[in-house]
Every structure is written in C-alpha cells, then in structure tokens.
Chains A and B, each alone.
Chain A
C-alpha cells in the first residue's frame, strides 16, 4: 500500500506540473478567488457553475480544475473579514474576532500576511495528514458516530466559557439566545415545525451567514459611522499604517505550536462529515485562548486569534477530502459539489477510486495544495492596495461595506428574507456592542445548537434501542475528558490566581 501511495503521489505531482496541465488549477484558483471575494458567494457556487462546462472533459482536467476551485475560495473570505469585518464565509467569522481589530489598529498588513501564511501552512498540514491517512481512511471515518459528534460539538460550545472572560453571565445569556435561535425550523426527527410562525422561510432555520453579516459587518459599520472615527484604521494615510507582511508571516513561526495544534484540529474536524469549517475555526480559536497564559488581548487584536482559525480553516480542506474520497460523503457544500462533478465524470468516490485511480486522486490533492499556496501568495501580493482600503474615510467605506453585506446576505440563498435577517441582526449586533454584550457566544451557540440537539437525540435513541455502548467507544471518552477540562480550566485558573494574590 505504501509503495502504491508513493507511486501515485509522484505520478499525480508529475501530471499537475506538466504543461499545459498546470494551467487548469491556476485558472481554477484565480476564478474561485475572484468570485469568493464577494461575501456570501461560496466556492461551491463557482464549482456548480463550472460543471456544465466540464461535461465533455476527460477526468484529468476535471480533477485539476476542481482541486483549484476547492482551494481558491477559502482565503479570500478572510481578507474581507480582516479589512471590513465582513466574513466571506462561515469559517471567516472566527478570523474577524481579532483580525478586524488589528486592521482598526492600522496593522492590516500584518493580519493579512499572518492569515496568508497560516492558511497556506495549515492546508499543507491538512494535505499531509490526508496522504498519511490514505491507508486508514475507512477506520478514521468509522470512528466518528453520533455520540462522538455530540461530544465534539459540546466541546465547541464550551469554548464560549473559554473565550469570554469577565461578563460570564452575559455570555451565557447570549449563548442561550443562540441556542434558542438554533432550534428554529423543522425538527428533522419528528418533522414538527418549531418557532416558524407559519413562515416557510424559517422551515430550515436561520442561516448562519445572514446572522453573522448582521451581527458583525452591519453592526460594526453602524458603530463606526456614529463613533466619529475617520477611517477603519484611524489613520488617513498609508504611510501611517504600522505592521508588515513579513511581521505577519513571522508570527506564524513565532507561535509554531499554536499553528500546528490549530491545523491538526482543522484536519480532524474536516475528516468528520457534516461538521464543517466554521466549527473547525471556532474550536481552534477556543483552544488558542485556552492554552495561552496571557489572554487579555484576545478579541482586541491578538495575532494568535488570526493564526488559529486560519490554520484550522484551510487544514480542513485536506481533511474534508477523506470522507469524500473514501465513502463519497461530502463534509461541506464545496465537497458535495465536488462529488457531483466527480460522479458526472464517471469517477465514483470510494474504494474503487482509491485503489484503481490513485494517481488521479493525487492530482486532486496536489491541485488543492497548489491552489492554497497560489491564493496565499496572491493575497500577500495584494496586501498593499488592500491595506490602503483601511485609510478610506468611513463616509465612503461604510456604505460600500454595508452594500457588500447586503449583497452577501442575498447571495447566500437568493432570498430577500435573508437580507431582512441580516438587517435585523445588524440592529441587535449594534445594541449588543454598544452595551458590551458579547456576540461570539451567540454565534457559536447558533452554529452548534442544531447539531448538538440532533446528535443528542440520535444518541439517546440508539442507546435506548441498545445499539450503542457508550463506554465501549474510546474516542468518545477522550472527547468527554476534553469537555471536562474545558469547563474546569477557567475555574482552576481563577482559583490559582486567587491563591497567588495573597502571596504577592
């Protein structure tokens, strides 16, 4: 198996780098980058649009192109998150927590440079683990059932306790509100409609993107407009901006342990079908806060708050190919479209593809790898003009960003109701910011609430039917331990600090 894997990898690499094959992933990447810059328009949309054009293609150019499309979209959403507090996709919402404050402090170049390096490096780790897991793909996916998913999501929820310091009561209330919002819609188990008030729009619940666009982008622009601040960065000339791309890139190596841990989290979450990059980003952010001895700057422009979600977000790409290639199970919308494209071209994901067409599989993997690096390098190359945007006057920029946010909300699922949701949450987000109520707990709870409820009830039902023995699942026990540690750590730290105070 090892020999076949190495041979497949080398043959795949040769196929990608050969002329004119290399044009496909490069052009695919550029196309995805261009489209993904618009908030709400995901890489999946680009990929779906490409399918009819590729029907007559051979499998090789299909793999080359779609590998480029998968990798090309992920980084661009982070740029808008950093510059304008507008997340281009769900996972970018974690980046804006510290990315945008950095831009507000005139350090947009540092933030983007850091994000670029973390993205490219994270995807490299994700792809490396994907390759190493090829012989073990089946076992890796089979290890995660509903009980494990439940615990993973609860672990994610407990990051709320970690990332919010001080206003714990407010954080819990915000999280409770997020959970309530997560329960809106049809109960998949019973088919009953909850809190929809007869409105078909709410059948599938609230979309995360419109909520995040409202809570952060619209709310921030509203706050900026009334704050009296002249520009996002507070500086009116580019020369006054501080920080540099080099500083941002170097920061990833300065915090190498954090970077690697975050990439591993992203990869692991990517392997689990149905969890998604947003969970990976927030989990990584939470562990960044949790494992830091000095946590006061998180949320105020801590570079570690950019490294963690960016590394996880892009590492997830490699991980998410594991269930797709092994079982044909898409872990995200992008991989769902990838699968559709593969099937239409007679490439059925699964054991046959992994054994009979391994070089083609590696073509996809190498294209993804190449695409992630192209995206990061181009993103860095554009840092100058992008950073300049933070010196634009608020009166000019705020309406543009507001329009981008509205466009993003509509582009999400082409429904005007999403725009209404974004505007409503814009008001809520503004009021929350004005009165110092944390918004992150609401987003995390909204993101995870539905999955927690579903997996809890599936697990309970399977356990009642005698189908699962919770004590016989070692991975589950490890996750339970992680949850307990997450819950206990703040209390332990507080106790430790209290004991040290009298001594000092």
Chain B
C-alpha cells in the first residue's frame, strides 16, 4: 500500500512534470537554451550582399522568428562584395562556436570555388550546411515584342544568328545557367554582361536590346505577370511552379525534355547530355543555404539545423513570405550541395570556354 507521503511525493512529481510539459507546449516547439548555450548570446548573421537584395530580405524575414526559437539575438551583418565571396569567406573564417552564421548562394559560390576565384570557399567542404532557406529554378524569358513566342522560335532564330542574352556579371549564377543550358541545347548564344542587376538586364529584354534573359523564376514573375516578359524555357527537370504563365512552356531536362530532344535530332551523345543537364539542374537547385564555419560542433550543428528548419516551416514565416521558400532540412541540403559539388566539374569546360569568348 502506498503511504500518504509516497502518494504526495508522486503527485508532486507528476504535477511538476505536467507543469514543465505545459510550459514547453505553451512556448511552442522551441529549442531555447539547448543549442550549445546560445540563449542570451549575440549571433552574427552574415548576408553576402547589400541591404535590399533577396538574401537580405529572406534573412530579415526569418530573423525575429529564429531569435524567438534560439533565445539569442540575431544581428544581421551585410558583407557585400566580390559576388558574395567576401561574405562567404567571413563565415568560413569565423570561429566555429555557433556565434557566426549566414546565408550563401550555392550555384555561384560553387562555380567560383571550382574555378579557383580568389579564395572562394567551397560550400561542400569549407562550410557547415545548416539547411536550405530557398531555391528557385531559372527560366529563359523574352520581351513581349521580341517576336519569339516559343522556344522553337528562339532555336529557329539561333540557326541564323546567335541568341543574345543580358546578364549582370560573368561568373554569376545566371551566366552558369545560360551557358550550360545553351551547351546542352547546342545553340549559339552571345552574352552581354555588365547590366546593373536582374531588373536592369530584364529591362534590356523588355526594351528589345537583347533577345532573352535567364533568371530565377521568382525574381521575374512579376514582370511575367505584367506581360512584359514571356517565359520560353524552364531550366529544370520538371515544371518549376504551378503558375499559369508556365503552361506549355518548354522544359529543358527529363526524358521528354528539350535537351534530349535536340540531342537525338542532332545525333549527339545522349548520355553526355543527360549528365550535363542533370548537373546543371542539381547545381542551380542547390539554392540558398544557411551555413556556419566548418568544424562546427556536431551537436550544436544538429540543434541549429533543427531550429532553423522549424523556423522555416513555421506557419507564421510562410504567411509572411511573399513567395514559396522551398526550405529543406540540413540532411537534404547537404546531400544537394554534395551532389552539386560532385557534378559541377562537368560544367566547367563550357563555362571556361564561354569566359574565353567573352574576353576576346
């Protein structure tokens, strides 16, 4: 028989446990003080571009929610320059104590690292991947008055003269996407670089100064919705988004994709096309990832990854975001980045050839 003292003691223990559980439930799914003692500390979150850009906007979107979950202060630090390399280097060089984190764009950084551009860290080996924040596949889009209604029209025009693209800078994700896609489609392109950003380059297409631009669909969807640009090609294996402007728009990859279709028609190496297309899609699809320095403590890294993923899938964050983020856990993001890093060398010969042409 249980004594009165034992019963009261058990009751107290259960009451305490229930109170703790209720407390946890009331706070929501927070990991608060368990991330290596980051609670109450100040975390430097490095954004590799100036205020106002996409990386900056996404970071400021998740900042208050991440602060709440970590119990730490997040201080966003814009470190622009060198196409994002300065910011990435600042993260890579930081002490791996969880107090310096940030966001990087994998496609551009990976290509810069592989082409050994001025100390660019390799996201696959020099940084700890904590999760994917967002990704968006590229589309080729043309101005509404260009006379090019479909990809067929563009490819037919390319038989007579090169297709002219506008981009911001050589070596950018856009440069990679256009060059590699043009290679698998076996189409001659001329790239005009130097426009002051995605919008300025898009305006060149709207104005008719160039034929096409190749950018993230999410970045130019408003111009597409306004009828200023028309998408001609989705640089992906399947439909990018359930957006009506993509109805009937050609898709690059996949067994029925235009890359293999052109390859078969021209009697080129099908396996090579398949591999290159997959490599391009994987590199571009690795997206924007949250990272910390390499050699981050395993437990701390796991905790930060879990907290970040909970934040990115929080209904409040999703409601506040103006577009679909397509976040992913650390495991998925790491696999994506490793795969992209393994396949990216396939794209290098085409990229280097394109850079040589531009420099002539």
Contact = CB atoms under 8 A, between A and B. Distances in A.
Contacts of B77: 414
A52 B59 CA distance: 9
A21 B206 CA distance: 38
Contact of B209 (A348, A351, A468): A468
Interface in A374-428: 413-414
Contact of A52 (B63, B82, B86, B359): B63
Interface in B186-212: 190, 192-197, 199-200, 203-204, 206-210
Contacts of B203: 141-142, 273, 327, 329
Contacts of B359: 190-192
Nearest to B54: A340
Nearest to A346: B322
A186 interface: yes
A118 B56 CA distance: 34
B209 A273 contact: no
Contacts of A198: 118
B118 A193 contact: yes
Nearest to A336: B52
Contacts of B222: 328, 348-350, 352
B192 A188 contact: no
A273 B85 CA distance: 25
A51 B77 CA distance: 14
A462 B322 contact: no
B208 to A, nearest CB: 8
Interface string B52-87: 110011001101100000000000111111110110
A48 B194 contact: no
A56 to B, nearest CB: 8
B31 to A, nearest CB: 20
Interface string A459-499: 00110010110000000000000000000000000000000
Given A191-B355, A346-B322, A465-B164, A146 B209 contact: yes
Contacts of A192: 359
A200 B89 contact: yes
B50 A333 contact: yes
A329 B200 contact: yes
Given A48-B78, A273-B200, A467-B164, A340 B190 contact: no
A340 B169 contact: no
B1 interface: no
Interface string B209-220: 110000000000
Contacts, number: 164
Interface string B154-168: 000000001010001
Interface string A286-325: 0000000000000000000000000000000000000000
Contacts of B60: 48, 51-52, 340, 344
A337 B193 contact: no
Nearest to B52: A336
How many A residues touch the partner, as a band? Answer: 35 or more
A330 B57 CA distance: 14
B335 interface: no
A141 B228 CA distance: 13
Contact of A191 (B78, B226, B358): B358
Contacts of B223: 327-328, 350
A203 interface: yes
B51 interface: yes
B351 to A, nearest CB: 10
Contacts of A413: 78-81
Interface string A335-377: 0111110011110111110000000000000000000000000
Contacts of B322: 343-346, 348
Contact of A189 (B119, B170, B204, B209): B170
A340 B206 CA distance: 22
Contacts of A336: 50-53
A330 B169 CA distance: 18
Interface in A181-222: 186, 188-193, 198, 200-201, 203-204
Contacts of B204: 145-146
Given A47-B51, A458-B195, A340 B57 contact: yes
Interface string B248-276: 00000000000000000000000000000
Contacts of B200: 273-274, 329
B320 interface: yes
Interface of A: 44-45, 47-48, 51-52, 55-56, 141-142, 145-146, 186, 188-193, 198, 200-201, 203-204, 273-274, 327-330, 333, 336-340, 343-346, 348-352, 413-414, 454-455, 457-458, 461-462, 465, 467-468
> Which 8 residue pairs of A and B lie closest in terms of their CB atoms, listed nearest first?
A336-B52, A48-B51, A203-B82, A337-B52, A191-B170, A329-B199, A274-B196, A340-B57
Given A145-B207, A336-B53, A346-B322, 17 more contacts: A48-B78, A55-B61, A56-B320, A141-B203, A189-B193, A189-B194, A190-B355, A190-B358, A193-B118, A200-B86, A203-B85, A273-B203, A329-B200, A343-B57, A455-B194, A458-B195, A467-B210
